[in-house]
Amino acid sequence: MKFVVTAGPTREPIDPVRFLSNRSSGKMGYAIAEAALESDHDVVLISGPVNLAPPAGAKLVKVITSDDMHDAVHEEVRACDVLVMCAAVADYKPARVAKAKIKKGDEIFSLDLIPARDILKSLPRFRNFFVVGFAAETNDVEEHARAKLATKNCDMIVANDLSDPTIGMESDENAVTIFSRNGEIEKISRASKKIIAHALVKIICAKAKKVLTKNF
């Protein structure tokens, strides 16, 4: 199969020296890309700014902003079997980007934000590739994951609970719950992200083969 995996954060510029971002390290997405390669799949890794070496054998597409990520995903899914949207893409971005550095003053500074493009929602509803979304939540994990599965037209959602600061973002470990369209729920207990990635790739491949009409 051909996997397209997104990883890492995006950076949304405020001015030439400042940006909005998040705590994503990219470790989970990079581990999934590596696990897919080790299972003899072709991999395109679309990565936001991270401090990680890309896995050998993957096609690396570097992006910075949510708009960059949107365009790269739409380009690469034209010929893929599985899209794994593991990147922590910004939900909002500044309405305007200052051309020069904004100087510090004594008055309150207000920043207007607008929604960033929703990559999952922008994908075609009828397609010939399997879509895996990720939901990183701090509360009501199952409720939010199920809502995302339905509203964003994913085939599968991988949810992780960020209320535990020792796993998930910036950590080498994770624990996830997988929600599928047919109502199935699977849990992968706390383990290294590399172990979880291998388990996820096996589950994704098994589910993708059942859903897609292609002959692999």
Active-site amino acid positions: 22
Whether 160 and 174 have beta carbons less than 8 Å apart is answered as yes
The CB density around residue 13, as the number of other CB atoms within 10 Å, is: 15
Whether 65 and 24 have beta carbons less than 8 Å apart is answered as no
Structure-block tokens of residue 138: 């701090």
Report the distance separating Cα 198 and Cα 33, nearest Å. 10
Query: What does residue 129 show for φ and ψ, rounded to 5 degrees?
Result: -140, 155
Structure-block tokens of residue 26: 């990219």
Beta strands in the chain (DSSP E): 2-7, 12-15, 18-20, 42-47, 59-62, 82-85, 92-94, 113-115, 130-137, 156-161, 173-180, 185-192
Residue 134 pairs in a beta bridge with 158
By C-alpha distance, which of 54, 33, 31 is closest to 42? 33
